[in-house]
Structures are given as structure tokens and as C-alpha cells.
Amino acid sequence: MNAIKETYFSFPGQTGFYRGKVRDVYYFGDIMAMVATDRISAFDVVLPRAIPDKGRVLNLIASRNLEATKHLVPNWVLQTPDPNVTIGYTCTTFPVEMVVRGYLAGHAWREYRAGKRTLCGVSLPEGLNENDKLPRPIITPTTKASVGHDEDISREEILRRGLVPEAQYVQLEDYALKLFAKGTGLAAERGLILVDTKYEFGLHNDKIMLIDEVHTPDSSRYFYADGYAERQQRGEEQKQLSKEFVRQWLISNGFQGKEGQQVPDMTDEVVNHITSRYRELYRQVMGAELETIDYSGMQQRIEGSIRHYLNSVNLGAEIK
């Protein structure tokens, strides 16, 4: 099976292009077309082989969740004309990510286990175990680094450094908690627990908008609700639904993105396994099987969907 690793389109009226870790973004002034490729990253490294189906799995899940939350928070999306394409407003991104945690897992647990009882200015109670539910969801922001790793930061430090004006930051907090509550409800409908997630926001015409993907297994951590309490009582690992299985495969093969380390060989067997896991993620989150598609004409289909949208809004009447 083929995969969409990179795109090289050129459109009349195009004002810019950006290739991120996993997305190719085409700019048209106030509007952008984001192509979710099949590239996959871990530990801030783009892995050498793309994963068939991965891009459309994440794009379709994000599209569903953005539609389901737009009554709570305005978002950047105008249209999803293709399983791998989302078109929306170009926004000025806030330099912080709003991480919301409902359970003590991942990075938060590692900090807690190391003895910290304050995370990003938020106090945590004594006596918690890994994956315990927190008394209430908490916000643990991170910086949004253009180079290198994001870093934990407190609300007070964000305001002190003037990264976000206070009135806008208060709105971001409110939006983040409302989104997490909605995401928790959507997850429960699918037999899942939304453990933690991150939200990114931007400004468009001075209006705060939710941007990027939302409640996908790449940006969020889920537990299976069935058996959660029993596993927790026995001190067992929780059954997760996230990209963690890719990280664990890399770790078990001696790679964590550190200098001098080599990405392990991604054989066809490994790629096919990761593809099957992403299809499983889609089935569990969306409650349906991912449609099988013909990859042979996928580049043309993606390009055509963008051209059709541009024509429909008179951004490229000359585009054929």
C-alpha cells in the first residue's frame, strides 16, 4: 500500500507554503489548506517511512470533534473537502498550548513520582498513584517552542512574561475546560476515558479560535473505561488508546530521539502493524470501519479538492 509522504502542489493565488512534521500547509492570504500527510513523528523526529491511512484517520477524527465542539468554541475550520484536507482561516497562534489533565498520567505522573507536588503552578494532593483520577481537571500549560521541546509554564509566568494578555488567557482557560468536558462526554459514548489532551488557539480578526486537531489519539491520551477501576485497584497498567505504542516500539529498539541514536529499521511488517493500529484507533473513536481507498490517484484527488474549494469561493477562478 502506498502512502502520502509529501505533496508538491502549486496553486494560482498561493501566498505561502509550510511543511511541518506531519502536515503540508498551503496559504492563500486569510485562508489556509492543511494536508494531513501520512508522515509520522515521535520524540520530535519524523520517522523515515510514512504510514498508510494515518493522515486521513487523524484528519477525520479531528473534523468530527471540531464539528461537535464548534457551539462551545469558535474554530478555524471552513470545510473538510477531502479525508486528508482541512481548509480554514489563517490564525495568529498563541505561543502557549493548553494541556488539560483529568488523570495523573504521562509527564504529570513522572513529575509527581520525582517528588513534585506543584505542576505548572497547580498544587497536587499527596497519596496519588499513577493513572489515578484527579480531584478535578487541571490546566498545565506549555510553551509552544518554534525550535526544540515545549516546556512547562505556569499561568503566573505566562502573564508575567506577557505571552498572552490576561483577559485573553482567562478566556483560553474557560474554553479549554469546556472542551475537555465535552471531549470527556464524547469519549464516554465510545467506552473511553479522556485522560489528558492539548488545545491550541489562535486569533483571527481579534477573535479567539480553536485551531489544529482536537481530541485525536495523537494529541490526546485515552484509557478504555471497561476494567479501568479493576486495573487501577490491582496496580496494573491501563489499556491505552494513543500513539504511545509507536513510542514504546522505538524505546524497545533503543531510540528516544537523543543525539547519536538511530531510528530502528521500519520494515514492511512494522509499517503494516502501525497502519492496522491506526485503523483500530479510528474504529474505536468513530464507531465505524475506515473506508478502504485507492491510493494510486490520491495525490490528484487531494490537489483537486483544494482547487475545487478555491474555485467555489472565487479565490481562483482561473484554476483548472
Amino acid 317: pLDDT: 44
* Mean model confidence pLDDT for the chain: 93
DSSP 127-164: T--TTPEEEEEEE--EE--SSS---B--HHHHHHTTSS
pLDDT in tens, 160-217: 999 999 999 999 999 999 999 999 999 999 999 999 999 999 999 999 999 999 999 8
pLDDT in tens, 22-71: 999 999 999 999 999 999 998 889 999 999 999 999 999 999 999 999 99
Model's pTM, two decimal places? 0.90
Q: How far, CA to CA in Å, does 273 sit from each of 8, 10, 265, 288?
A: 28, 34, 14, 19
Residues contacting 26, CB < 8 A, separation 6+: 9, 11, 14, 16, 17, 32, 33, 34, 35, 306
93-241 maps to CATH 3.30.470.20: yes
Give the phi and the psi of residue 201 in degrees, each rounded to 5: -130, 155
pLDDT in tens, 255-314: 988 889 999 999 999 999 999 999 999 999 999 999 988 888 899 999 999 999 999 987
Domain ranges of the chain: 93-241
